[in-house]
């Protein structure tokens, strides 16, 4: 067996065991001689079908299985689908299928796909030549600025609202909440409604409401959301219909999409350009993608569950049961994970938002411990952006979210740019990685969300 060895040019100072996915995959592919084709296909909603082609060693060795397993996992959370077609060696297809059976290593992922798409998740083995051609669909959403609008963005520790009139932000604010442990969906309804009323007080009227939230949202209904993790089963349908309830009460068009998509939309509106990959570092990692043609793909882009660290001893994500996934590298959780390594004492009872604020305060004082945390996250980001570029064709990467607020965001950005320039100079030359201004970092998603409803289409429908 050929052993994969890596020599990264940058090592995260607080996480020397980090194994960048992009370098591991590159090293594996360099060992493939006289390889055999492997084609992976994913069928999603409305007949959407994604293809990904690669080459693997002709023998089914542990490194090949590792390469394929991590690749399938990434594609599943990046693009989504209820049917996975594995075109290639039957031994590889069998190993993948075993992972996604009840009790298998990726049973969580299979279950989540079933919830997202409302049908059983299946794995099919076919020859590489038999994998169907791609059928990608997309749509143009958002960017509607006329009228009096409210936008909101739901996170795990706070939610943001904005009042916008003809594209001008009249009011924006953040409200603390704690939705994850709540068993009663009225908690979510009452808190969000209070924020909407606060924003409405700054407008002469409300013509439309747009929102973004973590989780999978289809037709304004939650399909999967950690914000509803502890709602009682008998009230889950009610919780999933939160936005429908608010639309009925307010009597105006209301559109809600995944926060990652709104991150990309916020970037496009700010830059006035397309080809945007938006990454929001908040309570978790959210991502969204706007194509070079300015279209949303319909992909999941739930990169919080997509692996970026191939160290087999990487930190375990407690919900998915997997290691090295994005949620623990680009979020409040990432900061919290690095606090002990940085040597910052915190009381056990201190919550994640408070811990982040402490690190941000220390960063404001140029404390070397906080500097080390942000440089480490920046190194993660540089390597992960290169990995994301293997799946997303973007020209701009926009970094948003609470973790990027303050001086730390600038250090994350500059460190990531250094990694790209040193390790991936061609990518660094064609991709612009940047932060929006401070206000946009914190409430930009809520403002972009306000632009989601198309009042002209509503008028035509009426």
Q: List, for residues 400-436, the tens digit of each pLDDT value.
A: 888 999 999 999 999 999 999 999 999 999 999 998 7
User: Is residue 462 scored above 60 in pLDDT?
Assistant: no
Residue bearing tokens 């910052």 = 344
> Do 117 and 145 sit in the same domain of this protein?
no
> Tokens 């982040």 sit at which residue?
356
Confidence of residue 460 (pLDDT cuts 50, 70, 90): very low
Residues paired with 70 in a beta bridge: none
Only one residue has tokens 């035509």, namely 460
Residue ranges in 80-227 assigned as alpha helix (H): 90-99, 107-117, 186-200
Stretch (H or E) spanning 21? helix 21-31
The number of domains in the chain is 2
| Same domain? 116 vs 158 | no
Whether 1 has a pLDDT exceeding 60, the answer reads no
Q: Which of 130, 159, 186 is the last residue of a domain?
A: 130
The closest of 437, 433, 441 to 395, measured between CA atoms, is 433
367-400 burial code (b ≥16 CB/10 A, e <16): eebbbbbbbbbbbbbbbbbbbbbbbbebebbbbb
Q: 226: closest CA among 181, 189, 172, 259?
A: 181
CA-angle at 228, arms to 286 and 449, nearest 5°: 45
Whether residue 10 lies inside any domain: the answer is: no
With a CB cutoff of 8 Å and minimum separation 6, the contacts of 236 are 228
Residue 447, pLDDT above cutoff 90:
no
> Which residue, chain included where needed, has tokens 């279950």?
111
pLDDT at 461: 44
Q: What is the pLDDT of residue 440?
A: 52
Domain membership of residue 179 (yes or no) is yes
Domain limit, last residue, from 79, 95, 130? 130
- In this structure, the answer to whether residues 165 and 39 fall within a common structural domain is no
Of the pLDDT bands very low, low, confident and very high (cuts 50, 70, 90), residue 207 is very high
Do 205 and 295 share a domain, yes or no?
Answer: yes
Residue 360 lies in a domain: yes
Q: What is the mean pLDDT of the chain?
A: 92
What is the per-residue burial (b if ≥16 Cβ within 10 Å, else e) of 91-111?
ebbebbbebbeeeeebebbbe
Q: Model confidence over 376-391: pLDDT tens digits? A: 999 999 999 999 999 9
Taking a C-beta distance cutoff of 8 angstroms, is the pair 397, 383 a contact? Answer: no
Query: Most distant CA pair in the chain: distance in Å?
Result: 70
Q: Are residues 109 and 214 both part of a single domain?
A: no
pLDDT tens, position by position, 71-117: 999 999 999 999 999 999 999 999 999 999 999 999 999 999 998 88
Sheet holding 49-56, edge to edge: 49-56, 36-43, 83-87, 122-126
How far is residue 462's CA from residue 459's CA, in Å, rounded to a whole number?
5
Based on the fold, state whether residues 352 and 372 are members of the same structural domain. yes
- Residue 82 CB neighbour total at 10 angstroms: 18
Instruction: Kindly indicate the confidence band of residue 459, based on its pLDDT and cuts at 50, 70 and 90.
Output: very low
197 and 115 co-located in one domain: no
pLDDT value at residue 444: 65
Domain end residue (candidates: 130, 148, 170): 130
Residue 376 is predicted with a pLDDT of 98
Residue 371: the pLDDT is 98
Give residue-wise pLDDT tens across range 233-272: 999 999 999 999 999 999 999 999 888 888 788 888 878 8
Length, in residues, of the chain? 462
Residues 91 and 154 in one domain: no
> Percent of the chain scored above 70 by pLDDT?
96
Assign residue 349 the CATH number of its domain: 3.30.420.40
Query: Looking at the predicted structure, is the pLDDT value of residue 68 above 80?
Result: yes
State residue 377's pLDDT score.
98
Please check whether residue 40 lies inside any domain of the structure. Answer: yes
Q: What is the pLDDT of residue 268?
A: 83
Strands (E), 260-339: 276-281, 285-290, 316-317, 322-323
Task: Report the 10 Å Cβ neighbour count for 180.
Answer: 15
pLDDT in tens, 11-49: 999 999 999 999 999 999 999 988 999 999 999 988 899
Are 310 and 415 part of one and the same domain?
Answer: yes
- What residue numbers bound the domain in which 397 lies? 138-462
Q: What is the pLDDT of residues 165-200, one digit of tens each?
A: 998 899 999 999 999 899 999 999 999 999 999 999
Top mean pLDDT of 213-217, 271-275, 438-442 is at: 271-275
Residues 372 and 442 in one domain: yes
Closest CA to 250 of 150, 181, 136, 180: 150
The CA–CA distances, whole Å, from 314 to 17, 20, 136 equal: 8, 11, 34
In a domain, 267, yes or no: yes
Encoded tokens for 422: 């040193």
**Residue 20 in domain:** no
Residues 117 and 209 in one domain: no
Q: Which residues contact 410 (CB under 8 A, 6 or more apart)?
A: 435
Mark whether 121 and 147 lie in a shared domain: no
Nearest to 36 by CA among 78, 2, 64: 64
- Annotate 372-385 with DSSP letters as a single string: HHHHHHHHHHHHHH
Domain for residue 15, yes or no?
no
Does 16 reside within a domain? no
Residue 443 to residue 159: CA distance in whole angstroms: 9
Please indicate whether residue 460 or residue 198 has the higher confidence score (pLDDT). 198
Terminal C-alpha separation, the chain: 66
- Is residue 262 within 8 A of residue 289, CB to CB? The reply is no
């Amino acid at each position: 067996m050929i052993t994969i060895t890596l020599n990264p040019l940058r090592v995260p100072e607080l996480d020397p065991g980090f194994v960048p996915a992009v370098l591991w995959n590159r090293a594996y592919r360099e060992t493939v001689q006289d390889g055999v084709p492997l084609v992976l296909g994913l069928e999603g909603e409305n007949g959407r079908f994604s293809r990904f082609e690669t080459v693997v060693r002709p023998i089914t060795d542990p490194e090949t299985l590792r390469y394929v397993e991590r690749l399938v996992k990434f594609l599943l959370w990046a693009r989504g689908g209820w049917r996975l077609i594995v075109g290639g060696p039957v031994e590889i297809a069998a190993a993948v299928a075993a992972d996604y059976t009840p009790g298998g290593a990726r049973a969580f992922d299979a279950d989540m796909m079933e919830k997202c798409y409302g049908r059983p998740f299946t794995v099919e083995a076919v020859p590489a030549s038999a994998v169907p051609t791609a059928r990608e669909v997309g749509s143009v959403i958002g960017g509607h600025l006329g009228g009096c609008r409210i936008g909101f963005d739901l996170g795990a520790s706070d939610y943001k609202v904005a009042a916008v009139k003809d594209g001008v932000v009249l009011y924006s604010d953040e409200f603390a909440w704690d939705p994850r442990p709540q068993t009663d969906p009225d908690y979510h309804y009452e808190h969000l409604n209070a924020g909407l009323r606060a924003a409405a007080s700054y407008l002469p009227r409300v013509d439309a409401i747009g929102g973004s939230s973590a989780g999978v949202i289809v037709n304004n209904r939650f399909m999967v959301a950690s914000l509803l993790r502890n709602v009682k089963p008998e009230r889950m349908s009610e919780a999933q219909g939160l936005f429908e309830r608010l639309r009925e009460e307010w009597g105006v068009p209301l559109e809600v999409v995944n926060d990652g998509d709104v991150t990309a939309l916020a970037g496009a509106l700010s830059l006035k350009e397309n080809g945007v990959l938006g990454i929001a570092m908040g309570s978790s990692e959210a991502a969204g993608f706007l194509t070079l043609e300015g279209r949303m793909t319909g992909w999941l882009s739930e990169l919080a569950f997509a692996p970026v660290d191939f160290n087999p001893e990487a930190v375990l994500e407690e919900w998915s049961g997997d290691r090295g996934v994005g949620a623990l590298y680009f979020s409040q959780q990432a900061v919290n994970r690095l606090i002990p390594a940085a040597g910052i004492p915190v009381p056990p009872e201190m919550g994640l938002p408070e811990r982040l604020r402490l690190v941000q305060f220390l960063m404001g004082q140029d404390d070397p411990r906080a500097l080390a945390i942000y440089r480490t996250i920046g190194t993660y980001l540089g390597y992960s952006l290169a990995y994301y570029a293997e799946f997303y064709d973007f020209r701009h990467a926009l970094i948003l979210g609470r973790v990027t607020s303050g001086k730390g965001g600038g250090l994350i950005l500059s460190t990531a740019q250094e990694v790209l320039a040193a390790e991936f100079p061609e990518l660094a030359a064609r991709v612009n990685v940047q932060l929006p201004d401070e206000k946009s970092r914190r409430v930009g998603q809520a403002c972009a969300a306000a632009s989601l409803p198309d009042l002209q289409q509503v008028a035509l429908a009426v």
